[in-house]
Each structure stands twice: as C-alpha cells, then as structure tokens.
C-alpha cells in the first residue's frame, strides 16, 4: 500500500515537472535563422512601447566591440549624424575606404556614392503647383495607403485604383514615385504629368527611381506626413503589385490593444536573416561592406506602421548608416528606436508565380504579393460578386 502511494506521488511529480518544462519551452521566443525562409512571430510589444533614441546607438544596433573591419559596421560605430550639407562626402569616403569598392556592382556603386543625400525637391509638371492635397483637419485618414511604384508602371497603379485602393471611408491612396525622366530610358514626363493631374494621387520627387532608392521614398513620405498629414493613424507601405484585403486589415487594426497600435510595425517578419553573398544575384551584399545578421524586419512587399512614428523614424534615419535595402533599413531604424516588428500570418509577400488566388484563398489573409494587374482585377470582381461562393 505504501509503495503504491509512493509511485502515485512520484508519477504526479514527474507530470508536474514535464508540464513546467513544456510551458517554459513553448513560451520562450525562438528566433529562426535567416533569409528569407524564417518568418517567426516575435514577442509582442512590452508594456513600454514608447520609442526612444539613445545618444549611442551602437549596442542597440548590435554593434559591440571588437567590431568587424567592414565599412558599414565601422561607420555605424563612429556615426553621430549623417551630413546634411555636404551629403556627397559620405559616399566619397566609402569609395576611398572600401578596398574592393571597384568590384561592387554598378547599382551599389551609385547607391553608396549618394546614400547620405536624403533631401530632394518634389517633381512637379512644369509651372504647376502640387496636385496632391494635404489632410484637412476634418478629413484625416485612419489608414493611408502609401504605394511604392515606378513611373512606367501605369498598369499596376490603375489596377490598384480600380480594386483594393478604390475609395473607402477613412482610407486614402497615394503613390510614391521618383523622377519620370529616368536614366537612359524613355522620358515619361508628359504621361506622368497627365496622370498626376487626372488622379491627384502621385507624390513624385526628383531622384532616380531605381530599387536601391526605395528608402528615399520612405523618408520623403515621412517628411510629407509631418507637414501635411501628421495625425494619420496608420500607414500601409506597400508595393504596387500587392493585393490588400482592406476590410480584413481595417478590422485587424481596429482590434489592436492601444499599446500595440501606438508603436505598430506589422507584417511578414524575418528574424536573424543573413546577407546574401552571391555576387550578381539580387540582394547581394559584399563581405567588405557589412557583417552580422540583419535585425528583425518586415518584408518590403507590404507592412503597416503607426502614423505617429513617422517623425521618430526620420530622426532615427539621420543616425543609422545607409543600407541599400529599404526593408532591412526600416528594421534597423525601428531597432534604433527600441521597437520590434509584430508578425501576422495574413501577410504573404512571396506568393508563388502561377499559384491561383480567389476570394476563398484570401480568407484569413490581409495582403498577397506579387500579383499581376490582371489577377488583381479578376480577384476584385469575384469579391464584388454577391453570387460568388467558396
């Protein structure tokens, strides 16, 4: 009898011990490896979600001594504030100090030589004022759709206007573009000027519109928001080949706890991604430029930030060394502010080519990318059809 009681007690203790181990294991954040496969959910924001910007960003950005001898890491350790007047000096120093700079790809050359230059005038049709109105005191959008496009992508912009970007209460659509003059391509100024007057939704700046300049679109947008729309609640920064399920996204945003909503950085999250070292491939980063893992960041295909963070992100960008990829750089700026991204499984920014999408597959999703303009229009028509059933 006594042995039976001992066995019963021992069994209970082992069960409790096993339960404790299981709870600790499942509650511990596990950061996956790298790029681009790991999309783990990071812990949600803590009780303190106010951004901060300490005098020394090095430790917060993962720069600890001894530092790698790579250019970005060394620059970030020494950086106070990026030069605002002689912005070309940073690029000239990069060209002089990076020993194998001549072997860098042409696009990376061009980026680094002017990477510290962040102040550009608006591109406007000749003799015209800006056709884009700011947010009036009585018409502040709850959600601003800030769509990154390129001058020649007329079909993608029109598909957005006719589908998920069409008028909705509390939602406003803007497209972010560089100069339509291009580099060695056709002069699209007349067509873009017509489009700007027709739709009044193009924010254009006078810089070369190439992939490595997408960060400039973010920074110019933040400055525009500060002057013309400072009270917007949320901003969706998204590529023009995405499809966004606006009703589901609005429902999710409206359900967020206030502490999450105030410092939101929401999307498909990559944790501990590593630089790709294959020269000639997309997202290539030379070993002499950057060492270490990337900070946690959301995919540039589409993510949401709290509108009140725009001026904070501008401040952070002045103190974070330039990096060629806009989504990684945004992650660096959020990390500089002491904030982390929040993952949502409804953001799908690597939708397989040729893989169909319908209102049925869209259930539970907030954003799908990339899709062709034709696919987006077909999907929208199905969503509007009251007879359509899964």
Per-residue pLDDT, 35: 43
Condensed to tens digits (0 to 9), the pLDDT of residues 158-210 reads: 999 999 999 999 999 999 999 998 777 789 999 999 999 999 999 999 999 99
> To the nearest whole number, what is the mean pLDDT of the chain?
87
Q: What are the φ/ψ torsions at residue 253 (nearest 5 degrees)?
A: -65, -40
At which residue do the structure tokens 């005038």 appear? 121
User: Structural domain boundaries of the chain?
Assistant: 71-384
CB-based contacts of 188: which residues, under 8 Å, 6+ apart?
151, 152, 180, 181, 182
Per-residue pLDDT, 389: 80
234-239: strand order across its sheet: 202-204, 171-177, 143-148, 234-239, 297-306, 265-270, 342-343
CATH number of 71-384: 3.90.550.50
At which residue do the structure tokens 């990339």 appear? 370
- What's the pTM value of the predicted model, to 2 decimals? 0.87
Consecutive H or E run containing 76: helix 71-78
Cβ contact 91:112 at 8 Å:
yes
What residue ranges in the chain does DSSP mark as E strands?
143-148, 171-177, 202-204, 234-239, 243-244, 265-270, 297-306, 342-343, 347-348, 367-368
Q: Indicate the pairing of strand 342-343 with strand 347-348.
A: unpaired
Indicate the range of 5-19, 108-122, 251-265, 280-294 predicted with least confidence.
Answer: 5-19
């Amino acid at each position: 009898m006594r042995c039976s009681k001992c066995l019963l007690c021992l069994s209970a203790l082992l069960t409790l011990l096993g339960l404790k181990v299981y709870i600790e294991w499942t509650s511990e954040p596990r950061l996956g490896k790298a790029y681009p496969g790991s999309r783990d959910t990071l812990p949600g924001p803590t009780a303190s979600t106010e951004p901060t910007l300490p005098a020394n960003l090095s430790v917060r950005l993962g720069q600890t001594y001894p530092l790698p001898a790579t250019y970005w890491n060394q620059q970030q350790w020494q950086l106070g504030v990026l030069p605002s007047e002689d912005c070309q000096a940073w690029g000239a120093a990069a060209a002089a100090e990076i020993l194998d700079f001549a072997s860098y790809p042409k696009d990376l050359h061009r980026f680094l030589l002017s990477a510290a230059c962040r102040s550009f005038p608006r591109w406007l049709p000749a003799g015209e004022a800006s056709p884009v109105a700011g947010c009036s005191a009585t018409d502040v959008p709850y959600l601003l759709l800030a769509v990154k496009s390129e001058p020649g992508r007329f079909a993608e912009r029109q598909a957005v206007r006719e589908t998920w970007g069409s008028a909705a209460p509390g939602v406003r659509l803007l497209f972010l573009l560089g100069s339509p003059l291009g580099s060695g391509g056709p002069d699209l100024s007349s067509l873009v000027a017509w489009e700007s007057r027709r739709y009044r939704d193009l924010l254009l700046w006078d810089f070369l519109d190439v992939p490595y300049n997408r960060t400039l679109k973010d920074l110019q947008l933040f400055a525009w928001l500060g002057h013309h729309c400072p009270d917007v609640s949320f901003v969706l920064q998204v590529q023009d080949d995405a499809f966004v399920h606006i009703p589901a996204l609005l429902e999710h945003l409206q359900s967020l706890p206030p502490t999450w909503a105030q410092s939101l950085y929401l999307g498909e999250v990559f944790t501990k991604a590593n630089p790709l070292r294959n020269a000639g491939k997309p997202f290539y980063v030379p070993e002499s430029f950057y060492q270490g893992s990337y900070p946690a960041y959301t995919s540039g295909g589409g993510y949401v930030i709290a509108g009140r963070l725009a001026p904070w992100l501008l401040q952070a960008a002045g103190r974070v060394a330039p990096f060629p990829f806009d989504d990684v750089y945004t992650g660096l700026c959020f990390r500089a502010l002491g904030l982390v991204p929040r993952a949502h499984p409804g953001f799908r920014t690597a939708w397989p080519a040729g893989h169909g999408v319908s209102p049925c597959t869209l259930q539970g999703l907030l954003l799908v990318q990339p899709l062709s303009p034709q696919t987006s229009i077909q999907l929208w028509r199905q969503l509007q059809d009251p007879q359509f059933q899964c």
